[in-house]
Copies of this chain bind each other. A is one copy, B any other.
Amino acid sequence: MANSTPPLARRMAEIAPFRVMDILARARELETQGRSIVHMEVGEPDFPTPKPICEAGIAALRKGELHYTPAPGLSELREAIAGHYRVRDGIDVAPSRIVVTTGSSGALLLALGALVNPGDQVLLADPGYPCNRNFVRLLEGEPVGVAVGPDGNYQLTPELLEQHWGSRTAAAIVASPSNPTGTIVPSAHLKAMVQLARERGGTLIVDEIYHGLVYEGEATSALTFADDVFVVNSFSKYFNMTGWRLGWLVVPERYLREVDKLAQNIFISPPAPAQFAALAAFLPETLAIAEAHRAEFKERRDYLVPALRALGFDIPHTPDGAFYVYAGCAGLTADSFAFTHDLLERAGVAIAPGIDFGANRPHEHVRFSYTKSLDVLAEGVRRIGEFLRRR
């Protein structure tokens, strides 16, 4: 730093903003101008947080004792999560291996922080959740996007992992169900990928944040057959707790001390209000609400996918879970980015451009979220139809 230009880390040039945030900002601008906008761009459920969770939070706030909790979270909450694995997945996960985190974002930072050296590669499905590659870059690792498509269910496969795993590969991130495609990794594939990573001296990080929101088939937790994988999960999606920022990381035994000291240093503790509230997440009455939401998501999916196909979008694989439709639009436009902008400006429908999800033919894809009610989705479909006819 011999000159007088203020410093800027090189990584910043490679960390991209989400384009969908610009879409959202523009949509809000149009709304303040009186325009009606159908929101199919945002990746968060429209449901409020279930009442029993809010009530538990309110009880904690009434007491006012919201101090730091232990860095890996309240022990009651870690035990409740272990109980959930026991009931839901029929597996025993020691509460000591469950580290409560500030959203799944916090979980990913802990896992990658403990695993990735500068220059280490991390394999990721492309298209995939955009933050993942940016977390890897933040830590000076090298995110390696592996193109996935409809033939592999838009997921990494044992063959792809074998093919792309190199001498510098430290880990691979697998998300099931995936954002943006909603597809699930078959159990046999997951098992084979865990095995392959293990043999190569690496680790699989499995993102299970959409577990619970599955409408077709089954999403088996990687913990069912492995205890040497990192599993990321969250209260955000299934429990509608996005804004609370609460997730968890299941950590292989040998990394516990490392992850704990990293959590102490970079987070001190996950948010206490969210932790006290989440103690009510696994109550029968809360699970009933979450299951009702799941039924509604399924209905929305069952409406939206055929409706979009009828408009000319290419959706080779009906999403199994989450609340996204990743749709090919090559038959409708040569530039999905311009398409999303036009759709917003001219038809008042906000969707996410493919560019947010990677470098694998992003211009031919867009992502729809079905986080709004059926009638809103229907209005969106109507507007898109009209937009396409009028062009």
Interface residues of A (CB under 8 A from B): 1-12, 15-18, 21, 44, 48-51, 54, 57-58, 61-69, 71, 102-103, 105, 109, 113-118, 120, 130-131, 134-135, 138-140, 167-171, 198-203, 228, 241-245, 252, 254-255, 257-258, 260-262, 264-274, 277
Contact = CB atoms under 8 A, between A and B. Distances in A.
A64 B242 CA distance: 11
B134 A266 contact: yes
Nearest to A241: B66
B265 A134 contact: yes
Nearest to A7: B170
Nearest to A51: B64
Contacts of A262: 12, 15, 138
Contacts of A274: 271, 273
Contact of A61 (B2, B57, B67, B130): B57
Number of copies: 2
Contacts of A115: 7-9
Contacts of A203: 6-7
B1 A168 contact: yes
A1 B245 contact: no
B245 A114 contact: no
B135 A138 contact: no
A201 B243 CA distance: 38
A181 to B, nearest CB: 20
A8 B48 contact: no
A201 B4 contact: yes
A244 to B, nearest CB: 6
B138 A4 contact: no
Nearest to A202: B1
Given A68-B242, A131-B266, A139-B139, 19 more contacts: A1-B202, A2-B167, A6-B201, A7-B117, A9-B115, A15-B262, A15-B265, A16-B261, A18-B261, A48-B66, A50-B64, A58-B61, A67-B242, A102-B271, A105-B266, A134-B265, A138-B262, A245-B268, A245-B272
Contacts of A117: 7, 9-11
19 contacts: A2-B201, A4-B198, A6-B202, A6-B203, A6-B228, A6-B254, A7-B120, A9-B115, A15-B262, A18-B265, A48-B65, A49-B66, A58-B58, A102-B102, A103-B268, A135-B265, A138-B139, A245-B269, A245-B271
Given A2-B201, A62-B54, A243 B15 contact: no
Contacts of A273: 57, 243-244, 271, 273-274, 277
B114 A138 contact: no
A158 B270 CA distance: 37
A197 B376 CA distance: 54
A64 B44 contact: no
A103 B71 CA distance: 14
A243 B120 contact: no
Contacts of A116: 7, 9
A135 B63 contact: no
B201 A1 contact: yes
B48 A109 contact: no
